[in-house]
Structure 1
Amino acid sequence: MRNPICLALCLAGVSAGALADATIYGTFNAALESVSATGATAGSASDVRQTQRVTSNTSKIGFKGQEDLGNGVKALWQVEQEVSIDDGGARKGAWAGRNSFVGLEGGFGKVLLGNHDSAYKMFGYLVPLEDGSADFTGKDGLINRVSRLKNSVQYRSPELAGWLLGASYAADEARTQTSNGQRSNGQVWALAARYRQDALQAGVAFQRNGEQLSGNSLLANHQDFWKASLRYTLGSTELGVGVEHERMDMARGRDQRQTAWMAAATQRLGAWTLGLAYVRLGSRQGADTATLKAADYQADQWALSAGYDLSKRTQLYGFYTRLNNRAAATRNFDSSAIAGVAAGSNPTAVGVGMLHRF
């Protein structure tokens, strides 16, 4: 039996009672796009010419459930994975590749063990059209460039007077042996706080990634991220701003630093939602070689979107986005990157799509 979902259900010995305690949920999100990446620093031979594609974006399916243990305490579990509805799984679809965990919830909050977004991602920026080419908050995007934490323990506090706190720790189980014979430690920890009151939501977060390697040589002693965001809702209008700073404590030479900021707005007009977003990645500072000092790693991205709700769960949408890389920058789209983007090229996408949540 090759289907992982069927295999998991069979191994669990699914009964009618077990299914009653489980929820199946997900998002299917596909778009027809025209994309290109031209203007490469090395010349037109490095350009990605205009091409059409169908993208699955972040389509996913998940299974979750809970058990009442008494005294206000519940056991929680979840398995979630991305699925490729565009090509049958050639690029995505790893079992439990997204937030998957077992944990407890009670008056103390939540404690989770597994593969899960860190506390750093506990609150988000205002993104008019998430999980696609018009997004900018993924590992290839210009902002929020941190990954999901494997082998992690997560804590989320109960909400009190508008405040929600979070903490994360991820162990480095590989502990790669470096070129000098020592074992690296890439452990990750994060702290975050969010405040929400009426139309206002604000948050701050910090994450430290442990030792960073280049091959088996120590590149940086650690990598730090800080961010802050603010969102405000005024009737059918929502406004958001955010800033993020990254610092690499280099093993040799001067530390490297880079800052990004963003601003976005959405406007509801009946069943329509219009969105506009801009994000800018500043210059890389602190590099200690002539090559890096002269290089320009700045980038920015515009995104314009419109969505029409067919129902509470189904939406049609269209968008245009352009990412401008300076001479040395190679930034790409978030969850739908263009293959072969060269330094200095400018990824551009225009498309229409459909999203359904269940």
Structure 2
Amino acid sequence: MLKKRMLAVAVASTLAAPFAMADVNIYGTINASVESVKATGATNPANDLKSTGRISSNVSRIGFKGSDDLGNGLKGLWQIEQEVSIDDGGTRKGSFATRNSFVGLEGGFGKVLLGHHDTVYKGLSSAGLVNPVPETIADIGGGANSVFGRGDARLPNSMLYLSQNYSGLQGGVSYSLDETRATLGTTRTNKGIWSLAANYNANGILAGMGYEVRKQANAVAGNTGLDQTFMKLTAAYKFDDTKLGVGYEQEKSERASGNTTQKAWTLGAQQRLGSVVLGVAYAKLGETKDGAKDGAKQWTLGAVYELSKRTQTYAFYTSLKNDANSARTFGSPSFIGVGAGSKPTGLGVGLKTVF
């Protein structure tokens, strides 16, 4: 009996040793809101989405990260992060490590990361963006279908370099390899994506800039050299309890039918009143050319009440108006299948906690 107990203790100690020695942090965000949403006024009334009540999990997530001291000022880094959907039991999130997940090195040179990660265009260039209620449908920006931040993306097969922070200034470069290399006609494509970006945060000034090249993004058989580029500038100034910001973004697309350019801009303001932060933001997406009617506008009003350093409650109203040939929608969680010309609106209250 004694031998069996000693064997059990030895096995348990062996299994526990790696965990006791590892530097692992568990972190996350739980963010849920009760919402009333609709998207009516579509050019084709059959595409209207009637008023719907729902609970949204927003960008709730859990992550695991750690580091390993390699000596001489060098560290090994790793992170695994996954979005979770607390509103539906996880049925919409069927895979793992869908958010920023990587392995890398950090030293006097900065950081080098390999994995599935936000481009530096997304991660650095939005420093000056005023966003009253981020990571909800009231978010100003959030990807290809939004009004602003349409170049923001998280990409697989990514390599990133991030510099150290020099008196508030940081820069970076990222590249996403095209693992598929599909063939169009007789030509094998290579749709790699390059991003360059930098931001500054000091003395009440927040600013960001980014440039991204999506090689052969609009490739077609017989003409694979059709790229897409994005450029973004943001700037904000914070004084006392007030923050004012502005942003500009430009997309250029080379197409077989003719090149197009589409510009967007945003203005925002936030005011802190003790534990309450009030915010307003406006974003406008222009037409690709006169008469195209493919622009959109979005207004967001938000109020955040900080219950503690980790927990806050909030309320918001957001309204998006599409031109006749535009079908832009909210950032996250979005409507699926918004009709061209529709006017999505959303009203909600929520609770968010971080750990």
In structure 1, the residue matched to 2:111 is 110
Q: Is the 8 A contact 1:122 1:166 kept in 2?
A: no
* Counterparts of 2:117 and 2:345, CA distance in 1: 31
CA displacement at 1:336 relative to structure 2:
1.3
Match of 2:58 in 1: 57
Matched, 1:172 2:174: no
Higher-Rg member (1/2): 2
Distance 1:244 1:19, change over 3 A: farther
Partner of 1:311: 308
Residue equivalent to 2:24: 22
Note the C-alpha offset of 1:310. Answer: 0.9
Contact persistence 2:115–2:156 (CA under 8 A)? yes
How far off its partner does 1:89 sit? 1.3
* Distance in 2 separating the partners of 1:218 and 1:172: 18
CA distance in 1, matches of 2:181, 2:92: 28
1:88, distance to aligned residue in structure 2 (A): 1.0
CA separation of 1:222 and 1:162: change in aligned 2, threshold 3 A: same
Contact 2:187–2:224 under 8 Å retained in 1 = no
Paired residue for 2:4?
none
Q: In the TM superposition, what are the counterparts of 1:179-190 in structure 2 within 5 Å?
A: 180-190=185-195
> Displacement, 1:40?
0.6
Summarize deviations over 1:297-356 as a string: whole Å, max 9, x none: 010100001111111010111100000001000001101112331000000000111001
TM-score by length of 2: 0.91
Letter in 2 for 1:257: T
Separation in 2, partners of 1:313, 1:249:
46
Give me the TM-score of the superposition, normalised by structure 1: 0.90
Trace 1:232-311 onto structure 2 (pairs within 5 A): 232-250=237-255, 252-285=256-289, 294-311=291-308
Matched to 1:262, the amino acid is T
Where do 4+ consecutive residues of structure 1 move more than 3 Å? 13-20, 213-220
Residue 220 of structure 1, CA deviation: 6.4
Q: Does 1:343 align with 2:340?
A: yes
Alignment of 1:217-236 (within 5 A): 221-236=226-241
What are the superposed Cα offsets for residues 19-69 of structure 1, whole Å, 9 maximum, x if unpaired?
A: 7510000111111000011111113x3211111011111111000000111
Matched residue count: 336
1:136-147 mapped onto 2 (5 Å cutoff):
136-139=140-143, 140-145=145-150, 146-147=152-153
Distance in 1 between the 2:21 and 2:142 partners?
34
Q: Does 1:35 align with 2:41?
A: no
The whole-number CA distance in structure 2 between the counterparts of 1:105 and 1:56 is: 33
Partners of 1:318 and 1:84 in 2: CA distance: 20
The C-alpha deviation readout for 1:257-302, integer Å capped at 9, x for no partner, is 10000011111111111110100000113xxxxxxx7530010100
Distance 2:224 2:276 in 1: 48
- Alpha-carbon distance in 2 for matches of 1:217, 1:80: 40
Matched, 1:325 2:331: no
Contact 2:218-2:228 at 8 Å conserved across structures = no
- Counting aligned pairs with the same residue, the percent is 47
2:132 is paired with a residue of what secondary structure?
A: coil
User: Do 1:82 and 1:93's aligned partners in 2 also have CA atoms closer than 8 Å?
Assistant: no
> Aligned partners of 1:88 and 1:126: how far apart in 2?
32
* Equivalence for 2:134: 130
AA of the residue aligned to 1:159: N
Cα distance, 1:119 vs structure 2: 1.0
SS in 1 for 2:187: coil
2:162 aligned with 1:156: yes
Confirm or deny: 8 A CA contact 1:296 1:327 kept in the other structure: yes
Contact 2:218–2:227 at 8 Å: present in 1 too? no
- Identify if the C-alpha distance between structure 1 residues 311 and 169 changes in structure 2 by more than 3 Å, giving closer, same or farther: same
Question: Which amino acid is the alignment partner of residue 50 of structure 1?
Answer: S
The answer to whether structure 1 residue 207 and structure 2 residue 204 are counterparts is no
CA contact (8 A) 1:83 1:93 kept: no
Q: Distance in 2 between matches of 1:295 and 1:80?
A: 40
